[in-house]
């Protein structure tokens, strides 16, 4: 693996499968009370410029279970909140820590942190990508379907960080993916071009449409996310209008395969992007997906920091 995990593109298919396999192993060991202190004596700094439930708790608990020490670093507590260049922060923290997880807005900030650090940097979420969540999604899909190759994933909603990381992640492991996204909320050209390239090289299907019914047809997996992510709160009313018809509901799910599963990275806005009925029907899978953030991130930490 690379020194860092900044985006899904950093991982090959073999590296993704290696992380999933190790995640499965660590999950089994935890369930059977088998200690795995792979990172004993190691320290992970966790920089948060965006609020978090799953990211903070899963990384903090995961580092503890691996025998290491997690250090929560709010942007309000760091000098970067007062204007210190990220490059200077990176050089200092590299001398104290064994790794850094950062959850922030700008992908460039994560890249700059990695460029100036000699310790592993993990992207806990940016406006461009959410690789840790997508790895948890892939882990969950494989648990429920036993395979990844050849499955069809349908994503319904905003062309946000989840959509962009799903394009790269799903195609890299051999899944087909169709996305239904309104034109005004499209993923960036980079991810469209990269998706087309991966799909063509591996004889896979990748398409983006405006009609959710077309995207969901015969899907094995249906994924959605909130219509207004963090930082988009002022656009809520506008987005509610734009995404009308993009709800994952019982009618839409009749077009997917009978045994299709539904995933949501959470938090969910029930009766907006997903109905209460569908979320509760698939709640076991959705909350297993949330749990798998813990296991897959522990695997990432081990591979980068051990």
- Asked if residue 265 belongs to a known ligand binding site, the reply is yes
- Asked if residue 252 belongs to a known ligand binding site, the reply is no
Q: What is the separation of C-alpha 256 from the centre of its chain, rounded to a whole number of angstroms? A: 23
- Asked if residue 74 belongs to a known ligand binding site, the reply is no
Catalytic residue among 4, 38, 133, 158: 133
- Asked if residue 52 belongs to a known ligand binding site, the reply is yes
Active site residue 293: yes
- Asked if residue 54 belongs to a known ligand binding site, the reply is yes
Active site residue 56: no
Structural element, H or E, at residue 122: strand 121-125
Q: Is 150 left (phi over 0), alpha (psi -120 to 50) or beta?
A: left
Catalytic residue among 4, 65, 130, 164: 130
- Asked if residue 230 belongs to a known ligand binding site, the reply is yes
Active site residue 225: yes
Catalytic residue among 4, 38, 65, 103: 103
Catalytic residue among 170, 265, 282, 295: 265
Q: Which residue has the tokens 């813990």?
A: 294
Residue 206 forms beta bridges with which residues?
A: 177
Distance CA 137, CA 67 (A): 25
Distance CA 265, CA 20 (A): 17
- Asked if residue 270 belongs to a known ligand binding site, the reply is no
Neighbours of 230 (CB within 10 A): 14
Active site residue 116: no
Annotated binding site: 52-55, 79, 103, 130-133, 161, 225, 229-230, 265-266, 293
Annotated binding site for carbamoyl phosphate: 52-55, 79, 103, 130-133, 265-266, 293
Annotated binding site for L-ornithine: 161, 225, 229-230
**Residue positions annotated with a catalytic role:** 103, 130, 133, 225, 265, 293
């Amino acid at each position: 693996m690379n020194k860092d995990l900044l985006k899904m593109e950093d991982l090959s298919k073999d590296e993704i499968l290696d992380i999933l396999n190790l995640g499965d192993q660590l999950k089994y060991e935890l369930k059977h009370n088998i200690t795995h202190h792979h990172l004993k004596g190691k320290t992970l700094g966790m920089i948060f410029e965006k609020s978090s439930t799953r990211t903070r708790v899963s990384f903090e608990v995961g580092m503890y279970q691996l025998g290491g020490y997690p250090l929560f670093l709010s942007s309000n507590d760091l000098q970067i909140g007062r204007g210190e260049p990220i490059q200077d922060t990176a050089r200092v923290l590299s001398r104290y820590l064994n790794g850094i997880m950062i959850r922030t807005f700008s992908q460039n900030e994560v890249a700059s942190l990695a460029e100036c650090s000699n310790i592993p940097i993990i992207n806990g979420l940016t406006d461009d990508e959410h690789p840790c969540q997508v790895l948890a999604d892939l882990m969950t899909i494989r648990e429920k379907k036993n395979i990844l190759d050849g499955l069809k994933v349908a994503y319904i909603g905003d062309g946000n960080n989840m959509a962009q990381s799903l394009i790269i992640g799903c195609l890299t492991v051999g899944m087909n993916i169709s996305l239904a996204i309104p034109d005004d909320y499209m993923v960036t050209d980079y991810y469209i071009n990269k998706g087309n390239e991966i799909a063509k090289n591996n004889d896979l299907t990748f398409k983006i449409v405006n009609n959710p019914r077309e995207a969901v047809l015969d899907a094995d997996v249906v994924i959605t996310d909130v219509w207004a992510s963090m930082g988009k709160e002022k656009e809520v009313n506008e987005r509610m209008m734009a995404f009308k018809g993009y709800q994952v509901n019982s009618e839409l799910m009749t077009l997917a395969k009978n045994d299709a599963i539904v995933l949501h990275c959470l938090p969910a806005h029930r009766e907006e992007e997903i109905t209460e009925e569908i979320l509760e029907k698939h709640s076991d899978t959705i909350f297993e997906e949330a749990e798998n953030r813990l296991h897959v991130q522990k695997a990432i930490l081990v591979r980068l920091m051990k």
